[in-house]
Amino acid sequence: MGAQADLQVTDILQRLVRMDTTNPPGNEMECVRYLAELLEPAGIETQIIEPAPGRGNLLARLRGSGEAKPFMLMGHLDVVAADAEDWTHPPFDGVIQDGCLWGRGSTDNKQMVAMATMILLTLAREGRTLKRDIILAATADEEKGGTYGMGWLARNRPELLEVACALNEGAGSPMKVGDRYFYTCQTAEKGVCRTVWSARSAAGHASQPRQDLATWQLARALTRLGDGHLGGRVIETMRRALVTIAETHSAARGQKVTRLLAKGRIEEALSETGFSAESAARNRALFYDTVSPTILEAGHLDRINVIPSVAQAYLDGRILPGETQQGFIARQQEIVGGEIVVALHENQYSPGLESPADAPIMDVIRSVIAEHANGAMVIPWQCAGSTDAKHLIPRGVPVYGFIPAKPLPEGLTAGGAHAVDEGIWLESLSFGYEVLYEITCRYGDQDD
């Protein structure tokens, strides 16, 4: 696409990173106004939506011929907190050094917004009229569930989100299995089901311990979780992914992996596919509902000599597509028995979701990656976390997580999403922009 485009997308990302949109409170409006000021002079329609003071969302649309349904590029503007004292470079300075742009949001998710903005500007400058409108949705509040962002738009302005499909965060980085790279495209993501476990007993003097103390009850219950992987199930996305990788070795290996997965022998299937022990452990959660105790509460520091009457644990649950709130809570209740009451925490539930892995957009992604990444294959993949896709897929909009990146050169390390020293390799930013531009042009000119 040329050095000028590379410079511009880098400049846009650097400006966005320098705007502190830590959520809470978010304050995404500064980013929204900046993007609108870039896009409007190019003739791109922009709409700013502010559901609450400072919580900004931008919908930008480059009109096509209208022969096919619009295509959306979506990204969020809010970021998680960063403790500056832990960082090599200040997290909101957008420092460029060692070939990387360092800063909070550089990989989650302002790079997608910067690339999508540059794609719209390039298409407008070229005067191209595609069959589809191309829409950029740069939204607020993803890190806290999307209440003031994509969730608000889906509830209150659904007509703005009537698109054939959307490209989102969640995957796109190359994954090495054996000696070969595969590009992941997120076609599924796990849901969220956060619970609170409560144990109760009579209060008393701490000099008189008893077996039925609420704290003991809770401790015993938590040990029954083992490593937090509950059950084991293979969704279609992950079955396809593993079998596709295995078949690159041989048809026989693909058949063996298929048989292992059908029998629920997940760890053996990962090994047979070619994953190292470390990589298999890292991806194991994609085949299980999981639960992690993150907060424990009981008593007060100024009452250390008092046995508390209530002890509680808060657990972050991540569930595979197909599991329900009722089913997941019932399973936890069965594990802990009658001593503990398990309940949903503050309505924090959203189901796991899956989009078709054989959609036309996937064919476009596969062909573009093959051309730009030395014949690399694209495989469907599941995200262990949760994204704004949860607001669109239930409304009939397929969402695919794909922000293409290049493998980091040996010796270069950069923190990813939510990490200290979050950073993006500038060659990867350029690569991602070029690939997404080509995907947008090809899919944007396809018939429905």
Does residue 158 have a cis bond before it (omega within 30 degrees)?
Answer: no
Single-letter code of the amino acid located at 77? L
Confidence band of 437 (pLDDT split at 50, 70, 90): very high
Residue 413 clears pLDDT 90, i.e. is over it: no
Distances from the Cα of 346 to the Cα of 104, 111, 193, 195, 343, angstroms: 28, 32, 10, 8, 9
Two structure tokens written together for 374: 């030395």
The correct CATH number of 192-233+288-350 out of 3.40.50.970, 3.30.360.10, 3.30.465.10, 3.30.70.360 is 3.30.70.360
Cα–Cα distance, 428 to 384 (Å, whole number): 23
Residue 317 clears pLDDT 60, i.e. is over it: yes
Cα–Cα distance, 86 to 80 (Å, whole number): 14
Cα–Cα distance, 83 to 68 (Å, whole number): 46
Confidence band of 4 (pLDDT split at 50, 70, 90): low
Per-residue pLDDT, averaged over 337-360, amounts to 94
pLDDT tens-digit map of 240-261 = 999 999 999 999 999 999 999 9
CA nearest neighbour of 45 among 31, 64, 66: 64
> 180 phi and psi, to 5 degrees?
-130, 145
Domain ranges of the chain: 3-169+383-444, 192-233+288-350
Question: What was the pLDDT predicted at 410?
Answer: 87
pLDDT tens-digit map of 176-225 = 998 899 999 999 999 999 999 999 999 999 999 999 999 999 999 999 99
CA nearest neighbour of 57 among 116, 133, 121, 137: 137
Conformation bin of residue 418: beta by default, left when phi > 0, alpha when psi is -120 to 50 = left
Q: How does the average pLDDT of the chain come out, rounded?
A: 96
Cα–Cα distance, 233 to 236 (Å, whole number): 10
Question: What was the pLDDT predicted at 6?
Answer: 60
Residue 5 clears pLDDT 80, i.e. is over it: no
Classify each residue of 101-128 as buried b or exposed e, where b means 16 or more C-beta atoms within 10 Å of its C-beta.
bbbbbbbbbbbbbbbbbbbbbbbbeeee
CATH of domain 3-169+383-444: 3.40.630.10
Strand 229-230 to 71-76 pairing: unpaired
Residue 1 clears pLDDT 60, i.e. is over it: no
Question: What was the pLDDT predicted at 373?
Answer: 95
**pTM beyond 0.85:** yes
Question: What was the pLDDT predicted at 178?
Answer: 87
Exposed, middle or buried: residue 396 (CB in 10 Å: 0-12, 13-18, 19+)?
A: exposed
Beta-strand (E) ranges in 170-309? 174-177, 180-189, 191-200, 204-205, 229-230, 289-298, 306-307
SS3 271: helix
